[in-house]
Structure 1
Amino acid sequence: MKSTFRILLIGFLFAVQCSFAQKATSTRWKGKQAAVVLTYDDALNVHLDNVVPALEAHQLKGTFYLSAFFPGSKSRIEDWKKAAALGHELGNHTLYHPCDASLPGRSWVSPDNDLHNYTTEQILKEILMTNVFLESLDGQKERTFAYTCGDTATGEGSFMEEIEDDFVASRGVRGALNVIGNINLLNVDSYGINGESGEDLIQLVKEAQEKNALITFLFHGVGGEHNLNVSLEAHQMLLDYLAENKETIWTTTMLDAAKHVKELQH
């Protein structure tokens, strides 16, 4: 009798555990299988000319990381204001886009733009000044950041924790899915895209769906204007897939995804 009762109790507890697990999974991404964040770096003209209209046609929103001194930022201020008014996120990508020239393959970085030669105070001033610029465009106080070239340190060391209180999250460049419980909002993983096909991009989203994960895409050129580029056709295929699967995929901005992750991981 006791043995039967024990078996029934174990079965009941297992059922309750499964029920809670299913509920947690179903509510993880607003009731969807996965979350997708589309990010675009460097304030390129193609982002305004190609990407924003394509996103709007699909009723999707993207995150655009602007380096304030870049031509595509300062010469198209009114267009960025319009993009923000449509609900697209304007993120911080520093003032001058410094990168660490001491790393392999960085011979293209000029001495005055070498993050390795910066002090931490210098990069912090540059980042905070860019926040002022972005607020003048969209009026927003909450914001996310994207490390330039994925670099997180000056010659004095890491500045990641120094900017933690200024941003809801910061996007990195490591190509990996983001799974609840293990998401580092100080350095969110993303897939840098360069030459992949539409099928390749869709397959990445399907993997995120299978693993109930957040996937972040990192685009530069879309149809040109950058040596890191994805074709218009491939980008369009990805947007088509996301739009056709809105019932199972939550496509959102980095800011909204990060705020949701904070709630879940707490």
Structure 2
Amino acid sequence: MSTAEELIGLLQVEQLELNLYRGVSGDIGSRNVFGGQVLGQSLMAATRTVDPARRVHSLHAYFLRAGDKRAPIVYDVDRIRDGKSFTTRRVVAIQHGRPIFHMSASFQVEEDGASHQDPMPEVPAPEGLPTEVEHRARHLPRLPEHLRAGYERDRPIEIRPITLVDPLEPGAMPPVFDAWVRALAPVPDVPGLHQAMLAYTSDFHLLSAALLPHDMSFFDPKLHIASLDHAMWFHRDFRMDDWLLYVTESPSASGSRGISRGKFYTRDGRLVASTVQEGLIRRAP
């Protein structure tokens, strides 16, 4: 999966029956199904059962088992509640007869009210930064042969890192990782699609911030890194085909787990979404 059009198609889950959907599995070069894919597809499945006038404002999810890239994923949606202002859905993702992921999501009718936000940090504009593809190309000759195919693979989301990290020799750095992100093609105005694409994107580099203080890398063969849970809050409207600043930081790591939190800002400084993830960071004996 290397283009935005392929990602848009990937997120358009197929309806099998009332409250039952199926998604194909994409491949970004990771060993298992990318967690952001399951997040995005689960959110799209839930959105399909909700009045389009109601938009998702939060989701809370747990990753239970590694997903199999060779098999489709079935999403079972439970219509827990349809209230006057809020709608709640629960989604269980199933592969080979077993749950691999579950999520609760809440949707709300549009309302006016009090508004404030954290200010956007001052960072370089995306146009003057190298793309992630260009940054990765500098390190390809040093990568083991079996890792190059995944590292060379194009992604449907353009990422321009502000924080530059050597993937093989990162060194100890502050627990902060910032980047500009956007879809590489126009995204249609399908209900919930931009939110699902942001959920997909939020899983890129989020745990990187938790690795940086410890001179750790995703390429360390003795390091087992996996997402445990994921939460998101959607604050304001946005478009995935416009640049978004993704600011991440890690406040803590302990007990073979690290936690990272992130914020998404539009170029004009509006805070549009927040996310938090805890992940397993375990070194093999």
**Structure 1 or 2: more helix by fraction:** 1
Q: TM-score, normalised by structure 2?
A: 0.28
Larger radius of gyration, structure 1 or 2?
Answer: 1
**Structure 1 or 2: more strand by fraction:** 2
- Greater relative contact order (CA < 8 Å, ≥ 6 in sequence): 1
